[in-house]
Amino acid sequence: MDFRLTPQQEARKQEFYKVCEALEKKRPASYVGFESKYENEECWEYHRMCAREFGKRGWLALHWPQEYGGSGDMMDKVLFAEACGYHGVPGVDEFGVAMLAPTLLAAASDEVKKKFLPGIASGEVMWCELWSEPNAGSDLAALTTSAIKKGDEYIVNGQKTWNTGAHKADWAFGVYRSDPAAKKHQNLTFMLCDMKSPGITVKGIPYMDGVHVYNEVYLDDVHIPANQVVGKDGGGWAVVNVLAGFERSNMAMVYALVRVMEYLVEYCNETRRNGVPLSRDPLVRSRIADLACELEAVRTLAYRIADQQSRNEMGLMDAASVKVYASELMERMAQVATDLMGPFGQVPHSKWAKISGIFESLYMACFVPIVSMGTNEIQRNIIAWYGLGLPRMK
């Protein structure tokens, strides 16, 4: 691909950065982590406010077809994501904007698209993902939450787990077993569900740092209208695979790391040890240089994925490889930074915390993308089987 920006793209980029810079100035002090938007009411309201700002400019639907409000292309979407990531501004609902919308465009009926895309584009409706269950994570198709069709609706019963932001979301996309008699992978249906539906109970799972981002969701006789199915009844596995590709190739975390890297360099320039700035220490320089090279590599990978998506050519292996690389780079960056900071890298929300405690927060959070969206072991299997054509173990 050609990495140079056209004058129009350059102008758009400036506009994205200008708006995000202004929104960054309004960010609450408690908003420090990667998933902070879910942590308290103040951060959630800030997220919603940013979403509405982007929605009214048409930026949440940039690369969509014009009939659904699209006003740009995939490269505009990438430039916008870079601006949000760089300025640490939320407002892009990863579940609605980054995962569900492209899936609906690819797999939903016109009726479903017309009903649900406008709320995503305006930033008014926020989503969560109800897939994993206590006994179905890596082997998602083993899920048991049932959705039994009665007339023009499904009655859903079961339990989902680890659902990010389910306590805040307005709507959920989920996958359920709709035909107990059919074969595995042919018995699932993908549906959209109002989180205010009677029968839904959400319970928090506190993360290791005590924050409330993740949840268990119980569904007891929840009624979902049949016209909220995406794809075909019994065809949910195909929709899951489309969405999983968009989920794993979501590059928001890559763009956020660019700014994180700048903070780390700044810290090394300003912090003296034995009278000498850390940045003059050859070992420190070498570690930072390694990270900087890796960051450039993952950015290029992200551009490549965007280019593939714009041509509908992204494969399972491409999404898996960028997910593995980006999540493990985030982990390495957090390790190097907290290591260099010593005890100061271990204190969040304290006067002793360096750079508002972002590296302590990153260290805690970096485990999340390694496990969620399908663990990195599973992604390596996908790369081996579908990308490299290696044989499966019996």
Ligand X SMILES: Cc1cc2nc3c(=O)[nH]c(=O)nc-3n(C[C@H](O)[C@H](O)[C@H](O)COP(=O)(O)OP(=O)(O)OC[C@H]3O[C@@H](n4cnc5c(N)ncnc54)[C@H](O)[C@@H]3O)c2cc1C
Task: Return residues touching ligand X (CB under 6 A).
Answer: 129-132, 137-138, 162-164, 214, 368, 371-372, 374-375, 377-378, 381
* Min separation Cβ 180 and ligand X, Å: 21
Strands 171-177, 127-130: pairing is: parallel
- Closer CB to ligand X, residue 105 or residue 378? 378
Structure tokens at 276: 């000498």
The full length of the chain comes to 394
Q: Which residue is nearest to ligand X (CB)?
A: 137
Computed on alpha carbons and rounded to an integer, the radius of gyration of the chain in Å comes to 21
- Closer CB to ligand X, residue 4 or residue 392? 392
Strand, helix or coil at 216?
strand
- Closer CB to ligand X, residue 82 or residue 133? 133
- Among 368, 374, 375, CA closest to 207: 368
- Closer CB to ligand X, residue 164 or residue 187? 164
* Min separation Cβ 96 and ligand X, Å: 13
* Min separation Cβ 150 and ligand X, Å: 25
Give buried/exposed letters for 309-329 (b at 16+ CB in 10 A, else e).
Answer: bbeeebebbbbbbbbbbbbbb
* Min separation Cβ 214 and ligand X, Å: 5
* Min separation Cβ 101 and ligand X, Å: 17
- Closer CB to ligand X, residue 80 or residue 131? 131
* Min separation Cβ 80 and ligand X, Å: 23
Strand stretches in the chain, DSSP E: 127-130, 146-150, 153-161, 171-177, 188-194, 200-206, 212-225, 229-230, 272-273, 276-277
Cα gap 329→12, rounded to integer Å? 29
The type of residue at 384 is A
- Closer CB to ligand X, residue 76 or residue 360? 360
Residue 324 and residue 376 in contact, taking contact as beta carbons nearer than 8 Å: yes
* Min separation Cβ 240 and ligand X, Å: 10
- Closer CB to ligand X, residue 250 or residue 372? 372
Strands 276-277, 153-161: pairing is: unpaired
